[in-house]
Structure formats: C-alpha cells, structure tokens
Amino acid sequence: MSEARMALASGTRVGIYEVTAKIGEGGMGEVYQARDTTLDRDVALKVLPEAFTADPDRLARFQREAKVLASLNHPNIGGIYGLESSGDAQALVLELIEGPTLADRIAKGPIPVDETLAIAKQIAEALEAAHEQGIIHRDLKPANVKVKADGTVKVLDFGLAKAVTSDAASGSATTSATMSLTASATQMGMVVGTAAYMAPEQAKGTPVDKRADIWSFGVVLLEMLSGQRLFTGETASETLAAVMMKEPDWDRLFTDLPVHVSTLVRSCLEKDPRERLRDIGDVRFAMKGVFGPSVDRLTEQAGPVPFASRPAQLLIAALGLVAVALGLFGWLGQPAPPAVGLTRASISLPPGHALSGGPEITRDGQRVAFVSSDGNGQPRIYTRRLDESELSELDGTEEARQIFFSPDGRWIAFYARGGFFKVRVDAGEPVRLADASTSEGGYWLDDGTILFTPAWNSGLFRIDEDGGEPEPFLIPDRTSSHAITWPSVLPGGREMLFSRWGSGSAQAVMRLDLTDMTESVVVPGHWRRSRFVSSGHIVFAGDGGDILALPNEQGAASTLTPEPVLENVDGGGIDGYARMAVSDNGTLVYSPLDLSKSSLVVVDQSGGLEPVDVPLGTYEQLSLSPGGRRVAIMSNFELFIHDLERGSRIPLVPELTQDGDQQRPVWSVDGTRVIFASNHDGSWRLYSKAASGAGEVEPLLDGRFDLYPTAALADGTIFYEENNDISSDLWYLPPGGAPEPWLTTAAEERQARPSPSERTMAYVTEVSARLEVSIQSIDRSSDPVLVSTAGGTSPQWSPSGDHLYFRNGHRMMVTEVSTEPVLQATVPRVVFEGGWELSDLTVFQERWDLLPDNRFLMVNHEPEAVPTKINVIFNWLDELRDRVPVP
C-alpha cells in the first residue's frame, strides 16, 4: 500500500463495512478483516493502493474486471462480493477465509501424496470453473491458496493480476500488478515469489491464455510433493531467467515419485505452451488415474494410448488426456501396449458464435477448421491447431461455406460471394480461383488440382490449385435430373465417392473408378455427404442424425447393410452437408445434432425482435398465407399449418409422410389451398391440398425432372422451378392447361415471385456466376432489370408492391420499384443485419416471409441451441473397426 495512505484503524468505516483488524499486506493492497453491518457477517477488505486509485482509467478498468470476477461462484474459489468506496479509499469486498496458506504448509516440508491429491484436485476444479467462464488466474501460487481446517481449499485473487495491470491484455512480468504496482511490491521476497510461478510466455511479456495457469499449477503441484522451490534466484530477473531458460533437475525432484506422477507434472511444465496440456479439466481427470487406487485395474483393462510419434502424443495430451492417467508409455518413448477405447474432447466456439460450416480436419489430424457466425450472423473461417488453444480468424473469408483442406493442410478451399477461393491457414488474403454460383462440396487432389462445382447440376470441374481455366471432370447423366456433390477420393487416387442428388433411383452414394471412369452404386437412396476413411470404411450421414458405415469393398458395398457407428451428428439438414470429418490417424471431429431448437420471430424494420408463440422445432421453410394469419411450415420434410392468432397447428399431409418427404409450401391467392412438392412416389412433383387439412391430396404435375412450386396467381396459374439436366428454369402451369416455359436459359433461374398486382415478376438468376435478384414484366414484354448489385436471393414484395425485399447473406435489403414510365428499381439499401435464417442454401430454403404490416416473419435459432462446440474423438477408427469389421 502506498506510504501516502495511512493504515486503517479498527472501527474505521468503509461504506457499510467496519474494520476490525489488519490481517495482511500484498502487492495489490492491504487486507483487513471487517464486519458487514447490513448482513452481519465477517468479510475481508482489500484496500487498493492510492497510486492505483488515483488513475481514473486504471480504476475504471479494474472496476469492470472486478464485476466479471464477482460472477465466479464455486466452493473452491474465494468469492468477491463487490466493490466499496469511502472518500478516496477503494476496496474489494472478499470472502473471509480462515486457515493457513498452502505456502505455510509447504514450508513444513513435502506433503504426502494423498493429501497432495486432495489439495490439487480442488485447485484444479477451481481453475476449471474459472476457465469455463473465460477467466484466467495469472497469479496462481501457494500464497494464493488457503487450506481450511476441514480440508476445503480456496483459491484466492482470481484474475486480479489482469484487473490491476496497466495493459489488460498483457501478460508482461514487468507490468504485472504483483511486481510493479507499488514500491512495496518490489521487495525481493514478493517479486521472487511471484516470478517463480509465472509461465515462460508470461515472463516474456507475451499474451497468455489458460495454459499459463496450467504451468503454475504444475509448479505448485511439484512443490507440494517435493517441499522445495522449483525456480529460484537472488533477484526477480534471475528467477524469471530460470523460468524461461533453465530445466529443473528432474532426476533430483522425481527421485521418490512414481513415473506416472512425474509424467503428469512434466506435461504441465512444458516451456512451449503448444506442447503443454491445454485444459485443466484434463489434468484433473488425469489425476484420478495418476493417484487413484484403480490405476492398475484401469491399465490392465484398457492399456495406454499408443502414440506413433511425439507430435501425436502432444496433440492428444493437449486435448484431453486420460492417457496421462494410463501411463503415457508412448510419451516416454516406451513400447506401446494395445490401444485404449475412445478419448473425447471438445472445442468451444468464441462467445456469441454459432457453427455454420464444417468442421474439417487435416489429414494428419493436426488442425481443425470451421465456419462460425458471429452475433451479426456473419460467417467466417476459423482454424486452430489441436495442440494449441488459440483460434485464428482468417481475414477475407466472410460468407464462407463448405470448406476443405489441401493435402498438406496449409490451405483451405471454400466457396463465398459467387466464387471459389483458397486461403492459407496462417496468413494472407484469399485467392479467387474461379466463379461458382452454388456450393456442392469439393476435394483437393494430391496432384495439385482441385475438384469443385461451379453451379448447380454442373457436375464436377477440375482446376489447378494455382488457378486457370476449369475443365469438366464428371458431368451428370443428361438423361435424368441429378446433381453430383460431395466428392471424396480414396488415398492412392484410384477411386472416388460422390453423392448423386436427384429423383427416385438417381439418388445414391456412388463410387467412381478413376482408372476407367466407371460408376457403381454404393448406397442406393442416400444422398448426403460420404467419405473414405483410412480404416477401410465408407462413412456417411443418415437421415436421423446417425453416421453410418460400410466396409469399402469394390463391387460389394451396395449389397451390405450400413451400420450406425455414431449418433447425434448434424447431418446438414436439407443440404446434406454432414458436419463431420476424420483424419488419416483416426481423429474424428463433428458437430453434435440438435433437432429441436429453432423458433419463429417477428423482426421489425430496425431489426428488433418479437418472439412468436410457437413450440421449438426444426423450422426450415415457411410461407405466410394471404393476410398473414397462418403460416405453412416445413420441418424435417413434413408440412404443418400453424395459426399465428390461435396458436394451433395441424399436419397438412400426414398421409404422405410415411412414403416420402414434402417441402416448398406455397399458398393459393385465396388462402384455401397449399401447393407443395413431394417425392412420395420417387420424384419431386407438384401437389396441392386444402389448407384445412381436409380432403384428398390433388396431383398437379409430374415430369422427368424435379419440380418445386414458387408462387400462384389469382387465376390459379402456378409458377414453379424445374431442375433440369443443365440448370434450374422457371415454368408456369395455367389452370387446365399444359406447362409453359417462363424463363429457360443455361444459367440458374429460381424463386419466381409475382408482385401483388401480378404485373411484375421478381426472380433469382445467375449473373457472372453469382445469384442476383432481377425483375421483369410478368408477360416478359419488358427487358429484365437487375435489382441486386452484390448478390441476392429470396425476393419478397411489400403488400403495396412498390418495395422489393431480398436477402444478401445475412443482410435484409430493399429496393423501390416503379413501372412508369418504364420498369426500374432504386439502388438497394440495407434494412437490417442479423443472424437469423442460418443456412448456406437460402436459395433452396424459404426461411422468411413478409407480414402485411411490413414486418418479417423469420426462423430464429435459439441462442442456447445453435451449435457452439465441436466434439473431438481420438482413436475413433479402433471403435469403427470393432463395430463394422473389414473382411
């Protein structure tokens, strides 16, 4: 405490607290016992130094940090009750904890293993609770740990080192509060004691994360077991130098310790944070085996994890590691016994983010990449090495989707903004390789070329990894309507899997022999993404959240029954983009499935939300009735009619549910019927039914290609999309007449929307390999007018017909449309931005509609429901071989 401020005498009042005694002094201020005169309890007051409180900016930052720290609530964490001021005195109000510090206990000599375990376990639980809230201690040491008479451990001063630092983002040893806050803080004993527990990266002044606490925990653990100081020096600088440069005398320190204990300690004390254990929860879990009485039984049952090389050992150690508890023979370079079962971990997304693409993993299992949307719904690519804790955001990857790695893991290919790109995983701007209006997966080949899909139904094209002119590689059979998606090439380059997405028997997981380009069916009826894995299996997503597997047997797979091998995996919904990937060494990453966590909201013109009283569900498409009282919903390929005023709901076509799927509901102008597409007879065809659910389903139109309704006119004319062998075209079916083309070109045309006057049509078309919104007179007597300028989908007219709304990524756009003297539209402006209607394929899914009052009914993913983590399973191929043996 500053010499300018006198010690507080007994009886001094600080707010509602009455000082009763001085109980300590440290670098962050003097500590007093006081009485809470309101709640009649004893507390500790840590009065901050005058030199600190005299700096308004520093004090304000501290107050903000202290509020965050006060949110920690755990039985092993010393609580922060609040802040109190009296005159120029500022004090933290803390839980009063009786008992000696751990430093006092260590001073008496080594602590027995059982007692060490009990203390260390509680310290680890305290750190784990804080880390889960994003709080790092930064100053863990024996003097900040108290052991009560009943054995309860309390960790003190959580995060205060950061809260009082001049630069809150810095981990610098020369600016940390416990070393330079005041003159008294620079006394030798204080400084050396603090420096002795700093992680090397913290001592260097580089930014720190929770791995710094794991280092400190390792130092404290070893000092408990040995009764000796691990890093020493005559001055703070010497001690810091020892931390950064000197290896402890392991032989001396580990003389009387079991090898499992020394292994755990060393895994916490790797000077390179990339090689250090990453999660304190993994340390706590490992201690069960290291110290527990069942370690021999566990080892006998499971055996230690076999590691082929040190990088693999460090990778697994960094994410989760029961292997420490099981002996870690591979880490120590000893022969590895048989493999254990699964080892699981998870990767949390940044706060407020939701997974919208991926995950993908490099072939060597070292790095994961995924697409994550922030609070504004803007998706970007993030990547992380599995042996590190930091996520890296890749610049220039806004609106990215459907990513995949290069063979060496140094590049990521992705689709975005009407193009196909690549970007380095470490730095640099994305490189545009080609135009691409839609995204149906891709694969980076070992020969330096990349397979991708430039447009829907275009088939696969190949392009050099450095760019150039794309060349056709595999083109769809023009005798039927289907798309070629999700290529996956077998190691060695002799075979390729792909999904054939189409009608009836055309839909299948296919195998392509790359030596003669012959195709064979692997799994008929399935269309979601499939992959080869190095265990000799083919894995793919089923319809119910399962991952299915087959042995990869040439010419025989189609006769085998796929077996479920993993449950509750996000299969990608309607787009089939199964969110899972497997490395060659057997590390599986996937997004867990949550089928019941979206709702409906009304969004006003400023972006304000009003919830709609509907049950949580899987809302994928919606269409408002004329007048806006009812909404047709597609959920899990079933159609429902929901009354927004009464809150009632009925299934529209339950009679078709068992035989197929339904989607794309469109209302008749009078609101009495709903037109929709169904594949219950094998192909997507047009049907209608009374909106009340009564009566029979009426077939409207079938054809050789898939058909999807987009709108209806007052006279009963139905506009629809035909997904033909080249692209998607717009047609119409007049009442009692034959189908007529409305707009058919080699490009994409979708989502025809007539204006309320039925004089003008809005639609989506492909312009320079990008989907844009255009308008044209419905009789096509006028030239088309391009409305959007940087991409657009899902157009909807205002009730008055003078405004046209559409989506551009996660932005709601609007333009003013007039027909006199000629058809024209103003430059679009942004109405609002928001992370609703989460989908890579808004051109296929109508997730919003316009209410009569010009507000928007939209699908909203509940904050607690959107995928916010990626699950990781090591050694997954061992279980895969057990579940589905390969002959």
Q: Which residues are catalytic?
A: 139
Nearest-CA neighbor of 517 among 498, 543, 504, 534? 498
- For the CA atoms of 703, 705, 711, 717, the dihedral, rounded to the nearest 10 degrees, stands at -30
d(C-alpha 726, C-alpha 459), whole Å = 9
Peptide bond before residue 887 is cis, with ω within 30 degrees of 0? no
Nearest-CA neighbor of 455 among 439, 469, 432? 439
Nearest-CA neighbor of 586 among 529, 533, 532? 533
- For the CA atoms of 668, 670, 671, 672, the dihedral, rounded to the nearest 10 degrees, stands at -90
> Residue 387 carries which DSSP code?
T
> Residue 226 carries which DSSP code?
H
Q: How far are the Cα atoms of 385, 523, 564, 768 from residue 561, in angstroms, in the given order?
A: 36, 9, 10, 44
Interacting residues of 44 by C-beta distance below 8 A, sequence separation 6+? 23, 31, 32, 33, 34, 93, 94, 95, 96, 97
Residue type, 732: Y
Cβ count within 10 A of residue 825: 20
Query: Encoding tokens for residue 22?
Result: 């001085």
Contacts from 82-89 at CB under 8 Å and sequence distance 24+? 84/14, 84/15, 84/16, 84/17, 84/45, 85/14, 85/15, 86/13, 86/14, 86/15, 88/50, 88/53, 89/5, 89/8, 89/14, 89/47, 89/53
d(C-alpha 159, C-alpha 132), whole Å = 13
Does residue 537 contact residue 884 with C-beta atoms inside 8 Å? Answer: yes
Nearest-CA neighbor of 100 among 119, 81, 79, 117? 119
**Cα Rg for the chain, rounded, in angstroms?**
32
Which residues sit opposite 382 in a β-bridge? 370, 393
Does residue 236 contact residue 174 with C-beta atoms inside 8 Å? Answer: no
Does residue 170 contact residue 203 with C-beta atoms inside 8 Å? Answer: no
Nearest-CA neighbor of 798 among 820, 778, 816, 822? 816
Residue type, 761: M
d(C-alpha 666, C-alpha 663), whole Å = 9
Per the listing, tokens 């760019």 go with 467
d(C-alpha 220, C-alpha 223), whole Å = 5
Interacting residues of 39 by C-beta distance below 8 A, sequence separation 6+? none
The upper half-sphere exposure of residue 294, i.e. CA atoms within 13 Å in the direction of its Cβ, equals 6
Query: Encoding tokens for residue 440?
Result: 């149906």
Report helix, strand and coil shares of the chain as percent, to nearest 5.
Answer: 20, 35, 45
Does residue 631 contact residue 622 with C-beta atoms inside 8 Å? Answer: yes
Interacting residues of 76 by C-beta distance below 8 A, sequence separation 6+? 122, 123, 125, 126, 129, 152, 153, 154, 155
- Give the Cα-Cα-Cα angle 618, 621, 625 (nearest 5 degrees): 120
Query: Encoding tokens for residue 183?
Result: 């003159």
- Give the Cα-Cα-Cα angle 647, 650, 654 (nearest 5 degrees): 160
Q: How far are the Cα atoms of 124, 445, 773, 829 from residue 789, in angstroms, in the given order?
A: 55, 34, 8, 10
